[in-house]
Chains A and B, each alone.
Chain A
Amino acid sequence: MAEARSIVDPALDTRPIAEAPPARKRRHLLLALGIAMLLAMLLVTALGPWIAPYDAIATSPDSLAGPSTQHWLGTDSIGRDVLSRLIIGGRTTLLITFVAVSLAVAAGLVLGLVSGYVGGLADELIMRGLDIVFAFPVFLLAIAVVAALGPTVPNLILTIAIVYTPIMARVVRAPVLSVKRWDHVEAARSVGVGELRIAIVHVLPMVMSPILVQTSLTLANTIFTVTALSFLGIGPPPPDPNWGGMLSEARQFMELAPLTVIGPAVAIVFATLTFIVLANGLRDLLDVAGH
Protein backbone atom coordinates (compact mmCIF):
# COMPACT_ATOMS: atom_id res chain seq x y z
CA MET A 1 0.00 0.00 0.00
CA ALA A 2 1.52 3.27 -1.00
CA GLU A 3 2.36 5.69 1.77
CA ALA A 4 -0.28 8.35 2.09
CA ARG A 5 2.25 11.10 2.02
CA SER A 6 3.47 10.24 -1.43
CA ILE A 7 0.09 11.13 -2.84
CA VAL A 8 -0.51 14.21 -0.80
CA ASP A 9 3.00 15.20 0.16
CA PRO A 10 3.15 18.97 0.51
CA ALA A 11 6.59 19.01 -1.01
CA LEU A 12 5.68 17.20 -4.19
CA ASP A 13 2.82 18.89 -5.99
CA THR A 14 3.17 17.70 -9.51
CA ARG A 15 -0.40 18.07 -10.61
CA PRO A 16 -0.46 20.03 -13.85
CA ILE A 17 -1.83 23.52 -13.63
CA ALA A 18 -3.56 23.10 -16.96
CA GLU A 19 -5.73 20.25 -15.78
CA ALA A 20 -9.31 21.41 -15.80
CA PRO A 21 -11.48 20.66 -12.76
CA PRO A 22 -13.59 17.58 -13.32
CA ALA A 23 -17.01 17.99 -14.80
CA ARG A 24 -19.70 19.02 -12.41
CA LYS A 25 -21.51 15.71 -12.32
CA ARG A 26 -18.39 13.66 -11.75
CA ARG A 27 -17.38 15.85 -8.86
CA HIS A 28 -20.19 14.63 -6.75
CA LEU A 29 -20.41 11.09 -8.07
CA LEU A 30 -17.29 9.81 -6.38
CA LEU A 31 -18.14 11.44 -3.10
CA ALA A 32 -21.65 10.04 -3.18
CA LEU A 33 -20.27 6.61 -3.93
CA GLY A 34 -17.77 6.85 -1.12
CA ILE A 35 -20.37 7.94 1.38
CA ALA A 36 -22.67 5.14 0.28
CA MET A 37 -19.92 2.57 0.74
CA LEU A 38 -19.02 3.96 4.12
CA LEU A 39 -22.58 3.91 5.34
CA ALA A 40 -23.02 0.35 4.12
CA MET A 41 -19.94 -0.75 6.01
CA LEU A 42 -20.90 1.07 9.18
CA LEU A 43 -24.40 -0.30 9.06
CA VAL A 44 -23.32 -3.88 8.62
CA THR A 45 -20.71 -3.75 11.34
CA ALA A 46 -22.87 -1.81 13.76
CA LEU A 47 -25.69 -4.31 13.43
CA GLY A 48 -23.08 -7.06 13.44
CA PRO A 49 -24.06 -9.27 16.33
CA TRP A 50 -27.71 -9.10 15.30
CA ILE A 51 -27.36 -9.84 11.62
CA ALA A 52 -24.53 -12.34 11.70
CA PRO A 53 -26.01 -15.78 11.07
CA TYR A 54 -23.70 -17.55 13.49
CA ASP A 55 -21.59 -16.87 16.53
CA ALA A 56 -18.27 -15.76 15.11
CA ILE A 57 -16.15 -17.82 17.46
CA ALA A 58 -18.30 -20.93 17.60
CA THR A 59 -16.57 -23.88 16.06
CA SER A 60 -18.35 -26.73 14.33
CA PRO A 61 -17.39 -30.08 12.86
CA ASP A 62 -18.34 -28.78 9.41
CA SER A 63 -14.90 -27.49 8.45
CA LEU A 64 -13.65 -26.06 5.17
CA ALA A 65 -17.10 -26.22 3.70
CA GLY A 66 -17.85 -24.48 0.43
CA PRO A 67 -20.60 -21.87 0.07
CA SER A 68 -24.05 -23.19 0.85
CA THR A 69 -27.40 -21.94 1.98
CA GLN A 70 -26.37 -22.58 5.56
CA HIS A 71 -22.99 -20.93 5.26
CA TRP A 72 -23.07 -18.29 2.54
CA LEU A 73 -19.33 -18.05 2.44
CA GLY A 74 -18.49 -21.46 3.76
CA THR A 75 -16.53 -22.29 6.89
CA ASP A 76 -12.90 -22.19 7.92
CA SER A 77 -10.60 -24.96 9.11
CA ILE A 78 -12.31 -25.34 12.48
CA GLY A 79 -15.82 -24.94 11.23
CA ARG A 80 -16.43 -21.29 12.00
CA ASP A 81 -18.76 -19.43 9.67
CA VAL A 82 -16.76 -17.14 7.42
CA LEU A 83 -19.50 -14.58 6.86
CA SER A 84 -20.13 -14.08 10.54
CA ARG A 85 -16.45 -13.75 11.25
CA LEU A 86 -16.13 -11.15 8.54
CA ILE A 87 -18.96 -9.12 9.96
CA ILE A 88 -17.76 -9.27 13.53
CA GLY A 89 -14.15 -8.90 12.51
CA GLY A 90 -15.06 -5.68 10.79
CA ARG A 91 -16.17 -4.18 14.08
CA THR A 92 -12.80 -4.44 15.75
CA THR A 93 -10.94 -3.36 12.65
CA LEU A 94 -13.11 -0.32 12.07
CA LEU A 95 -13.18 0.58 15.73
CA ILE A 96 -9.43 0.65 15.97
CA THR A 97 -9.20 2.50 12.68
CA PHE A 98 -11.59 5.29 13.52
CA VAL A 99 -10.40 5.85 17.05
CA ALA A 100 -6.72 5.79 16.11
CA VAL A 101 -7.15 8.18 13.20
CA SER A 102 -9.28 10.54 15.29
CA LEU A 103 -6.45 10.72 17.79
CA ALA A 104 -3.94 11.30 15.02
CA VAL A 105 -6.07 14.10 13.56
CA ALA A 106 -6.48 15.73 16.94
CA ALA A 107 -2.80 15.54 17.75
CA GLY A 108 -1.87 16.61 14.26
CA LEU A 109 -4.21 19.60 14.42
CA VAL A 110 -2.75 20.80 17.67
CA LEU A 111 0.84 20.28 16.63
CA GLY A 112 0.35 21.67 13.17
CA LEU A 113 -1.51 24.75 14.37
CA VAL A 114 1.02 25.48 17.07
CA SER A 115 3.94 24.82 14.81
CA GLY A 116 2.61 26.84 11.93
CA TYR A 117 1.14 29.69 13.86
CA VAL A 118 3.68 30.21 16.59
CA GLY A 119 6.58 29.50 14.31
CA GLY A 120 10.12 30.07 15.42
CA LEU A 121 11.75 27.64 17.81
CA ALA A 122 8.56 25.77 18.59
CA ASP A 123 8.07 25.16 14.89
CA GLU A 124 11.62 23.91 14.46
CA LEU A 125 11.45 21.58 17.44
CA ILE A 126 8.10 20.13 16.52
CA MET A 127 9.08 19.64 12.90
CA ARG A 128 12.37 17.96 13.74
CA GLY A 129 10.58 15.74 16.21
CA LEU A 130 8.09 14.76 13.55
CA ASP A 131 10.88 14.20 11.06
CA ILE A 132 12.32 11.62 13.41
CA VAL A 133 9.08 9.69 13.40
CA PHE A 134 8.85 10.21 9.65
CA ALA A 135 12.25 8.62 9.15
CA PHE A 136 10.99 5.22 10.17
CA PRO A 137 9.12 3.19 7.62
CA VAL A 138 5.59 3.40 8.90
CA PHE A 139 4.96 -0.26 9.06
CA LEU A 140 8.25 -1.18 10.70
CA LEU A 141 7.70 1.45 13.33
CA ALA A 142 4.21 0.18 14.01
CA ILE A 143 5.55 -3.33 14.38
CA ALA A 144 8.33 -2.24 16.69
CA VAL A 145 6.04 -0.21 18.93
CA VAL A 146 3.44 -2.93 19.17
CA ALA A 147 6.19 -5.43 19.85
CA ALA A 148 7.50 -3.23 22.62
CA LEU A 149 4.16 -2.44 24.21
CA GLY A 150 2.35 -5.66 23.58
CA PRO A 151 -0.48 -6.35 21.14
CA THR A 152 -3.62 -5.17 22.84
CA VAL A 153 -6.36 -3.08 21.31
CA PRO A 154 -5.47 0.11 23.23
CA ASN A 155 -1.81 -0.30 22.29
CA LEU A 156 -2.71 -0.75 18.65
CA ILE A 157 -4.77 2.41 18.72
CA LEU A 158 -1.96 4.31 20.37
CA THR A 159 0.64 3.00 17.94
CA ILE A 160 -1.34 3.95 14.89
CA ALA A 161 -2.13 7.34 16.30
CA ILE A 162 1.57 7.99 16.90
CA VAL A 163 2.60 6.77 13.49
CA TYR A 164 0.14 8.91 11.55
CA THR A 165 0.31 12.11 13.59
CA PRO A 166 3.29 13.54 11.68
CA ILE A 167 1.58 13.56 8.30
CA MET A 168 -1.48 15.18 9.84
CA ALA A 169 0.61 17.84 11.46
CA ARG A 170 2.36 18.58 8.19
CA VAL A 171 -0.91 18.80 6.32
CA VAL A 172 -2.24 21.27 8.87
CA ARG A 173 0.90 23.34 9.06
CA ALA A 174 1.16 24.10 5.35
CA PRO A 175 -2.03 26.14 4.95
CA VAL A 176 -1.46 27.75 8.34
CA LEU A 177 1.87 29.08 7.14
CA SER A 178 0.37 30.56 4.02
CA VAL A 179 -2.68 32.03 5.68
CA LYS A 180 -0.54 33.71 8.29
CA ARG A 181 0.86 35.95 5.62
CA TRP A 182 -2.38 36.95 4.00
CA ASP A 183 -3.04 40.64 3.85
CA HIS A 184 -6.42 40.64 5.46
CA VAL A 185 -5.10 38.58 8.32
CA GLU A 186 -2.41 41.22 8.79
CA ALA A 187 -5.11 43.84 8.60
CA ALA A 188 -7.22 42.11 11.18
CA ARG A 189 -4.24 41.77 13.46
CA SER A 190 -3.32 45.41 13.14
CA VAL A 191 -6.82 46.44 14.08
CA GLY A 192 -6.39 44.44 17.25
CA VAL A 193 -8.42 41.32 16.55
CA GLY A 194 -7.28 38.65 18.98
CA GLU A 195 -4.98 35.89 17.76
CA LEU A 196 -7.35 33.16 18.78
CA ARG A 197 -10.16 34.72 16.83
CA ILE A 198 -7.94 35.04 13.80
CA ALA A 199 -6.97 31.42 14.16
CA ILE A 200 -10.56 30.26 14.25
CA VAL A 201 -12.07 32.53 11.66
CA HIS A 202 -9.30 32.60 9.05
CA VAL A 203 -7.00 29.70 9.58
CA LEU A 204 -9.31 26.87 10.48
CA PRO A 205 -11.44 26.91 7.31
CA MET A 206 -8.29 26.79 5.18
CA VAL A 207 -7.14 23.78 7.07
CA MET A 208 -10.39 21.84 6.82
CA SER A 209 -10.13 20.81 3.19
CA PRO A 210 -6.69 19.24 3.21
CA ILE A 211 -7.38 17.68 6.60
CA LEU A 212 -10.52 16.02 5.31
CA VAL A 213 -8.75 14.58 2.30
CA GLN A 214 -5.75 13.46 4.31
CA THR A 215 -7.97 11.89 6.95
CA SER A 216 -9.62 9.73 4.32
CA LEU A 217 -6.27 8.67 2.96
CA THR A 218 -4.97 7.93 6.43
CA LEU A 219 -8.07 5.87 7.16
CA ALA A 220 -7.28 3.82 4.08
CA ASN A 221 -3.66 3.43 5.17
CA THR A 222 -4.74 2.50 8.67
CA ILE A 223 -6.91 -0.31 7.41
CA PHE A 224 -3.78 -1.57 5.73
CA THR A 225 -1.69 -1.25 8.86
CA VAL A 226 -4.22 -2.85 11.17
CA THR A 227 -4.95 -5.75 8.88
CA ALA A 228 -1.27 -6.20 8.13
CA LEU A 229 -0.37 -6.26 11.80
CA SER A 230 -3.06 -8.79 12.52
CA PHE A 231 -1.91 -10.77 9.48
CA LEU A 232 1.47 -11.08 11.14
CA GLY A 233 -0.18 -12.13 14.34
CA ILE A 234 0.43 -8.98 16.34
CA GLY A 235 -2.99 -7.45 15.96
CA PRO A 236 -6.00 -7.66 18.25
CA PRO A 237 -5.61 -10.76 20.35
CA PRO A 238 -7.80 -13.86 19.84
CA PRO A 239 -10.44 -15.08 20.03
CA ASP A 240 -12.00 -12.06 18.40
CA PRO A 241 -11.89 -12.47 14.66
CA ASN A 242 -10.14 -9.89 12.53
CA TRP A 243 -9.66 -9.72 8.79
CA GLY A 244 -5.89 -9.88 8.71
CA GLY A 245 -5.78 -12.81 11.08
CA MET A 246 -8.44 -14.61 9.05
CA LEU A 247 -6.39 -14.14 5.90
CA SER A 248 -3.28 -15.47 7.55
CA GLU A 249 -4.95 -18.50 9.11
CA ALA A 250 -6.61 -19.34 5.82
CA ARG A 251 -3.28 -19.75 4.08
CA GLN A 252 -2.75 -23.22 5.44
CA PHE A 253 -5.66 -24.84 3.64
CA MET A 254 -6.53 -22.25 1.09
CA GLU A 255 -6.63 -24.49 -1.94
CA LEU A 256 -9.31 -26.54 -0.24
CA ALA A 257 -11.49 -23.58 0.67
CA PRO A 258 -10.57 -20.52 -1.39
CA LEU A 259 -13.37 -18.48 0.14
CA THR A 260 -11.54 -18.40 3.45
CA VAL A 261 -8.96 -16.29 1.66
CA ILE A 262 -11.21 -14.44 -0.76
CA GLY A 263 -13.66 -13.44 1.93
CA PRO A 264 -11.25 -11.44 4.07
CA ALA A 265 -9.43 -10.22 0.97
CA VAL A 266 -12.60 -8.68 -0.43
CA ALA A 267 -13.51 -7.21 2.95
CA ILE A 268 -10.11 -5.55 3.29
CA VAL A 269 -10.20 -4.25 -0.26
CA PHE A 270 -13.72 -2.93 0.15
CA ALA A 271 -12.90 -1.05 3.31
CA THR A 272 -9.73 0.43 1.83
CA LEU A 273 -11.50 1.31 -1.39
CA THR A 274 -14.24 3.09 0.53
CA PHE A 275 -11.79 5.51 2.03
CA ILE A 276 -9.86 6.00 -1.18
CA VAL A 277 -13.04 6.78 -3.07
CA LEU A 278 -14.01 9.16 -0.29
CA ALA A 279 -10.64 10.83 -0.46
CA ASN A 280 -10.88 11.29 -4.22
CA GLY A 281 -14.45 12.44 -3.95
CA LEU A 282 -13.54 14.99 -1.32
CA ARG A 283 -10.57 16.11 -3.31
CA ASP A 284 -12.68 16.65 -6.41
CA LEU A 285 -15.30 18.45 -4.42
CA LEU A 286 -12.95 20.73 -2.58
CA ASP A 287 -10.63 21.01 -5.57
CA VAL A 288 -7.65 20.53 -3.34
CA ALA A 289 -4.64 20.69 -5.62
CA GLY A 290 -2.59 18.40 -3.42
CA HIS A 291 -1.44 21.51 -1.56
Chain B
Amino acid sequence: MSASAKPLLQVQRLSAQFTRDAVVSQVVKGISFDIAAGEAVGFVGESGCGKSVTARAMMRLAPEGSSVELGGVVRFDGQDLLQLREADMCDIRGQRIAMVFQDPMTSLNPVLSVGAQIDDIMRRHTGVSRAQARRRTVELLGLVGIRDAARRSEDFPHQFSGGMRQRVLIAMAVSCQPDLLIADEPTTALDVTVQAQILRLLLRLRQELGMALMLITHDFGVIAGMVERVYVMLDGQIVEAGAVDDIFARPQHAYTRALLDAVPRLESAGRLMP
Protein backbone atom coordinates (compact mmCIF):
# COMPACT_ATOMS: atom_id res chain seq x y z
CA MET B 1 0.00 0.00 0.00
CA SER B 2 1.04 3.64 0.31
CA ALA B 3 4.38 4.60 1.79
CA SER B 4 4.58 5.27 5.48
CA ALA B 5 5.20 9.01 5.02
CA LYS B 6 2.45 11.39 3.92
CA PRO B 7 1.42 10.59 0.33
CA LEU B 8 2.67 12.78 -2.51
CA LEU B 9 -0.81 13.29 -3.85
CA GLN B 10 -3.93 13.13 -1.73
CA VAL B 11 -7.25 13.71 -3.44
CA GLN B 12 -10.37 14.06 -1.32
CA ARG B 13 -13.94 14.20 -2.60
CA LEU B 14 -12.93 15.60 -5.96
CA SER B 15 -15.87 16.58 -8.13
CA ALA B 16 -15.98 18.17 -11.57
CA GLN B 17 -18.98 19.72 -13.19
CA PHE B 18 -19.17 21.03 -16.75
CA THR B 19 -21.62 23.64 -17.95
CA ARG B 20 -22.05 24.00 -21.67
CA ASP B 21 -25.00 25.68 -23.38
CA ALA B 22 -26.85 25.73 -20.08
CA VAL B 23 -26.53 21.97 -19.71
CA VAL B 24 -24.81 20.83 -16.54
CA SER B 25 -23.10 17.46 -16.46
CA GLN B 26 -21.36 16.13 -13.43
CA VAL B 27 -18.52 14.05 -14.66
CA VAL B 28 -16.61 13.32 -11.48
CA LYS B 29 -18.71 12.71 -8.39
CA GLY B 30 -16.66 13.10 -5.30
CA ILE B 31 -13.78 10.63 -5.57
CA SER B 32 -10.90 10.16 -3.16
CA PHE B 33 -7.57 8.51 -3.77
CA ASP B 34 -3.90 8.96 -3.08
CA ILE B 35 -0.54 8.31 -4.65
CA ALA B 36 2.69 7.94 -2.73
CA ALA B 37 6.02 9.30 -3.87
CA GLY B 38 7.51 7.01 -6.49
CA GLU B 39 4.40 4.83 -6.61
CA ALA B 40 2.69 3.68 -9.79
CA VAL B 41 -1.08 3.71 -9.72
CA GLY B 42 -3.52 2.71 -12.41
CA PHE B 43 -6.92 4.22 -13.21
CA VAL B 44 -9.10 1.90 -15.23
CA GLY B 45 -12.52 2.38 -16.69
CA GLU B 46 -14.34 2.69 -19.96
CA SER B 47 -14.56 5.90 -21.99
CA GLY B 48 -16.59 8.56 -20.32
CA CYS B 49 -16.16 7.27 -16.79
CA GLY B 50 -14.36 10.42 -15.78
CA LYS B 51 -10.80 9.19 -15.46
CA SER B 52 -9.35 11.68 -17.94
CA VAL B 53 -11.40 14.46 -16.46
CA THR B 54 -9.97 13.59 -13.06
CA ALA B 55 -6.45 14.06 -14.38
CA ARG B 56 -7.26 17.35 -16.08
CA ALA B 57 -9.13 18.54 -13.04
CA MET B 58 -6.05 17.91 -10.95
CA MET B 59 -3.98 19.90 -13.40
CA ARG B 60 -6.72 22.51 -13.69
CA LEU B 61 -6.79 22.24 -17.46
CA ALA B 62 -10.30 23.04 -18.59
CA PRO B 63 -10.93 22.62 -22.33
CA GLU B 64 -11.36 25.82 -24.36
CA GLY B 65 -14.77 27.30 -24.22
CA SER B 66 -16.15 25.28 -21.34
CA SER B 67 -16.43 26.30 -17.76
CA VAL B 68 -15.65 23.74 -15.12
CA GLU B 69 -16.57 23.79 -11.46
CA LEU B 70 -14.27 21.85 -9.25
CA GLY B 71 -14.93 20.75 -5.73
CA GLY B 72 -12.93 18.93 -3.11
CA VAL B 73 -9.28 18.98 -2.22
CA VAL B 74 -6.24 18.03 -4.27
CA ARG B 75 -3.36 18.05 -1.88
CA PHE B 76 -0.03 17.83 -3.66
CA ASP B 77 3.05 17.94 -1.52
CA GLY B 78 1.13 19.86 1.15
CA GLN B 79 -0.60 22.41 -1.11
CA ASP B 80 -4.20 22.30 -2.26
CA LEU B 81 -3.89 22.68 -6.02
CA LEU B 82 -7.51 23.76 -6.40
CA GLN B 83 -6.87 26.84 -4.30
CA LEU B 84 -3.70 27.96 -5.98
CA ARG B 85 -3.49 31.06 -8.10
CA GLU B 86 -3.26 30.30 -11.78
CA ALA B 87 0.27 31.69 -11.96
CA ASP B 88 1.43 29.32 -9.24
CA MET B 89 -0.39 26.42 -10.85
CA CYS B 90 1.43 27.28 -14.05
CA ASP B 91 4.73 26.80 -12.24
CA ILE B 92 3.71 23.37 -11.04
CA ARG B 93 2.54 22.16 -14.44
CA GLY B 94 5.32 20.61 -16.39
CA GLN B 95 7.79 20.89 -13.58
CA ARG B 96 6.31 18.96 -10.67
CA ILE B 97 3.40 17.27 -12.37
CA ALA B 98 3.66 16.41 -16.04
CA MET B 99 1.20 14.85 -18.41
CA VAL B 100 1.34 12.66 -21.50
CA PHE B 101 -1.78 12.69 -23.64
CA GLN B 102 -3.49 10.18 -25.82
CA ASP B 103 -3.04 11.25 -29.42
CA PRO B 104 0.58 11.84 -30.39
CA MET B 105 -0.42 12.87 -33.88
CA THR B 106 -2.10 16.07 -32.69
CA SER B 107 -0.18 16.77 -29.51
CA LEU B 108 2.82 18.48 -31.05
CA ASN B 109 2.97 22.00 -32.48
CA PRO B 110 3.39 21.52 -36.25
CA VAL B 111 5.39 24.67 -36.82
CA LEU B 112 8.09 24.13 -34.19
CA SER B 113 10.86 21.57 -34.31
CA VAL B 114 10.57 18.81 -31.72
CA GLY B 115 13.78 20.01 -30.16
CA ALA B 116 12.36 23.49 -29.70
CA GLN B 117 9.31 22.04 -28.01
CA ILE B 118 11.42 20.21 -25.45
CA ASP B 119 13.76 23.19 -25.06
CA ASP B 120 10.93 25.52 -24.23
CA ILE B 121 9.61 23.56 -21.29
CA MET B 122 13.06 23.35 -19.78
CA ARG B 123 13.82 26.99 -20.33
CA ARG B 124 10.49 27.88 -18.81
CA HIS B 125 11.02 26.01 -15.55
CA THR B 126 14.77 26.14 -15.10
CA GLY B 127 17.05 28.99 -15.94
CA VAL B 128 19.17 27.11 -18.44
CA SER B 129 20.59 28.74 -21.52
CA ARG B 130 19.48 27.85 -25.02
CA ALA B 131 22.59 25.77 -25.63
CA GLN B 132 22.28 23.90 -22.36
CA ALA B 133 18.63 23.20 -23.01
CA ARG B 134 19.39 21.81 -26.45
CA ARG B 135 22.11 19.56 -25.07
CA ARG B 136 19.72 18.17 -22.51
CA THR B 137 17.04 17.80 -25.17
CA VAL B 138 19.30 15.69 -27.32
CA GLU B 139 20.15 13.56 -24.27
CA LEU B 140 16.48 13.08 -23.53
CA LEU B 141 15.67 12.13 -27.09
CA GLY B 142 18.38 9.51 -26.91
CA LEU B 143 17.02 8.34 -23.58
CA VAL B 144 13.59 7.67 -25.04
CA GLY B 145 15.08 5.73 -27.89
CA ILE B 146 15.27 8.15 -30.79
CA ARG B 147 18.33 7.40 -32.84
CA ASP B 148 20.46 10.14 -34.32
CA ALA B 149 18.99 12.43 -31.70
CA ALA B 150 21.07 15.50 -32.47
CA ARG B 151 19.95 15.67 -36.06
CA ARG B 152 16.41 14.58 -35.31
CA SER B 153 15.96 17.30 -32.74
CA GLU B 154 15.78 19.79 -35.59
CA ASP B 155 13.09 17.88 -37.41
CA PHE B 156 9.43 18.74 -37.37
CA PRO B 157 6.65 16.59 -35.96
CA HIS B 158 5.35 15.55 -39.35
CA GLN B 159 8.66 13.82 -39.97
CA PHE B 160 8.06 11.36 -37.13
CA SER B 161 5.83 8.34 -36.87
CA GLY B 162 3.13 8.08 -34.21
CA GLY B 163 5.18 5.91 -31.91
CA MET B 164 8.18 8.20 -32.18
CA ARG B 165 6.08 11.25 -31.54
CA GLN B 166 4.83 9.65 -28.35
CA ARG B 167 8.43 9.11 -27.33
CA VAL B 168 9.11 12.77 -27.97
CA LEU B 169 6.11 13.69 -25.84
CA ILE B 170 7.34 11.45 -23.06
CA ALA B 171 10.79 13.02 -23.28
CA MET B 172 9.11 16.39 -23.00
CA ALA B 173 7.11 15.31 -19.98
CA VAL B 174 10.07 13.97 -18.01
CA SER B 175 12.46 16.73 -19.02
CA CYS B 176 12.08 18.67 -15.78
CA GLN B 177 12.06 15.54 -13.66
CA PRO B 178 8.54 15.85 -12.30
CA ASP B 179 7.46 14.17 -9.10
CA LEU B 180 4.36 12.82 -10.75
CA LEU B 181 3.79 11.77 -14.34
CA ILE B 182 0.22 11.38 -15.51
CA ALA B 183 -0.14 9.22 -18.61
CA ASP B 184 -3.63 9.50 -20.06
CA GLU B 185 -4.21 6.57 -22.44
CA PRO B 186 -0.63 6.82 -23.69
CA THR B 187 -0.83 3.82 -25.97
CA THR B 188 -4.43 3.82 -27.13
CA ALA B 189 -3.73 5.62 -30.39
CA LEU B 190 -0.69 3.51 -31.24
CA ASP B 191 -0.13 0.31 -33.14
CA VAL B 192 -0.18 -2.82 -31.00
CA THR B 193 3.47 -3.53 -31.67
CA VAL B 194 4.46 -0.06 -30.56
CA GLN B 195 2.28 -0.10 -27.46
CA ALA B 196 4.48 -2.53 -25.62
CA GLN B 197 7.57 -0.49 -26.44
CA ILE B 198 6.06 2.68 -25.06
CA LEU B 199 4.92 0.95 -21.92
CA ARG B 200 8.37 -0.47 -21.38
CA LEU B 201 9.81 2.98 -21.89
CA LEU B 202 7.51 4.43 -19.27
CA LEU B 203 8.45 1.69 -16.86
CA ARG B 204 12.15 2.24 -17.41
CA LEU B 205 11.96 5.99 -17.03
CA ARG B 206 9.93 5.65 -13.90
CA GLN B 207 12.53 3.42 -12.36
CA GLU B 208 15.44 5.59 -13.44
CA LEU B 209 13.92 8.89 -12.36
CA GLY B 210 11.94 7.67 -9.38
CA MET B 211 8.73 9.40 -10.47
CA ALA B 212 5.26 8.53 -9.32
CA LEU B 213 3.09 7.39 -12.20
CA MET B 214 -0.62 7.75 -12.69
CA LEU B 215 -1.54 5.50 -15.59
CA ILE B 216 -5.00 6.03 -17.04
CA THR B 217 -6.41 3.46 -19.40
CA HIS B 218 -9.52 1.51 -20.39
CA ASP B 219 -7.54 -1.62 -20.91
CA PHE B 220 -6.62 -3.85 -17.98
CA GLY B 221 -4.05 -5.49 -20.17
CA VAL B 222 -2.01 -2.27 -20.17
CA ILE B 223 -2.04 -2.09 -16.38
CA ALA B 224 -0.54 -5.49 -15.78
CA GLY B 225 3.13 -5.24 -14.90
CA MET B 226 3.06 -1.47 -14.85
CA VAL B 227 1.44 -0.44 -11.58
CA GLU B 228 1.24 -1.46 -7.96
CA ARG B 229 -2.30 -0.36 -7.20
CA VAL B 230 -5.44 0.08 -9.21
CA TYR B 231 -8.53 2.24 -8.95
CA VAL B 232 -11.51 1.21 -11.03
CA MET B 233 -13.82 3.99 -12.11
CA LEU B 234 -17.38 3.84 -13.34
CA ASP B 235 -19.63 6.75 -14.11
CA GLY B 236 -17.62 9.32 -12.19
CA GLN B 237 -17.03 7.22 -9.10
CA ILE B 238 -14.41 4.81 -7.84
CA VAL B 239 -16.05 1.42 -7.50
CA GLU B 240 -13.07 -0.65 -6.52
CA ALA B 241 -9.53 -0.11 -5.33
CA GLY B 242 -6.70 -2.37 -4.35
CA ALA B 243 -3.31 -3.87 -5.08
CA VAL B 244 -3.05 -4.95 -8.66
CA ASP B 245 -2.57 -8.62 -7.91
CA ASP B 246 -5.58 -8.64 -5.63
CA ILE B 247 -7.75 -7.00 -8.23
CA PHE B 248 -6.73 -9.43 -10.90
CA ALA B 249 -7.15 -12.43 -8.65
CA ARG B 250 -10.27 -11.46 -6.72
CA PRO B 251 -12.27 -8.70 -8.42
CA GLN B 252 -15.06 -7.70 -6.05
CA HIS B 253 -17.21 -5.45 -8.23
CA ALA B 254 -19.21 -6.78 -11.15
CA TYR B 255 -17.91 -4.02 -13.37
CA THR B 256 -14.30 -4.85 -12.57
CA ARG B 257 -14.97 -8.38 -13.56
CA ALA B 258 -16.48 -7.25 -16.82
CA LEU B 259 -13.43 -5.12 -17.55
CA LEU B 260 -11.11 -7.99 -16.82
CA ASP B 261 -13.09 -10.26 -19.04
CA ALA B 262 -12.70 -7.79 -21.84
CA VAL B 263 -8.95 -8.22 -21.96
CA PRO B 264 -8.02 -10.55 -24.81
CA ARG B 265 -5.90 -13.43 -23.69
CA LEU B 266 -3.17 -15.18 -25.62
CA GLU B 267 -2.53 -17.85 -23.03
CA SER B 268 -5.08 -20.55 -22.41
CA ALA B 269 -7.86 -19.68 -20.01
CA GLY B 270 -7.41 -20.60 -16.40
CA ARG B 271 -3.91 -19.19 -16.02
CA LEU B 272 -4.81 -15.71 -14.83
CA MET B 273 -8.28 -16.16 -13.42
CA PRO B 274 -9.15 -18.36 -10.51
Contact = CB atoms under 8 A, between A and B. Distances in A.
A132 interface: no
A18 B64 contact: yes
B208 interface: no
A14 B29 CA distance: 38
Contacts of B65: 18
B88 interface: no
Contacts of B21: 20
Interface in A15-42: 18, 20
Interface string B1-45: 000000000000000000001000000000000000000000000
Interface string B157-192: 000000000000000000000000000000000000
Nearest to B64: A18
A165 B65 CA distance: 40
A18 B21 CA distance: 12
A20 B65 CA distance: 10
Interface in B57-89: 64-65
Interface SS, B side: loop
A20 B22 CA distance: 12
A245 B127 CA distance: 66
Contacts of A18: 64-65
Nearest to A18: B65
A27 to B, nearest CB: 14
A20 B23 CA distance: 14
Interface in A240-283: none
Interface in A175-189: none
Interface string A232-245: 00000000000000
Contacts of B64: 18
Nearest to A21: B21
B83 to A, nearest CB: 30
Contacts of A20: 21
B239 to A, nearest CB: 33
A66 to B, nearest CB: 52
B68 to A, nearest CB: 16
A18 B64 CA distance: 10
A51 B65 CA distance: 52
Nearest to B21: A20
B254 to A, nearest CB: 37
A117 B145 CA distance: 53
B22 to A, nearest CB: 10
A20 B20 CA distance: 10
B64 to A, nearest CB: 7
A34 B65 CA distance: 30
A20 B64 CA distance: 13
Interface string A1-21: 000000000000000001010
A249 B21 CA distance: 53
B44 to A, nearest CB: 30
A20 B21 CA distance: 9
A100 to B, nearest CB: 42
B160 to A, nearest CB: 26
Nearest to B66: A18
A97 to B, nearest CB: 39
Nearest to B63: A18
A64 B210 CA distance: 88
Interface string B84-108: 0000000000000000000000000
Nearest to A23: B21
A227 B161 CA distance: 57
3 contacts: A18-B64, A18-B65, A20-B21
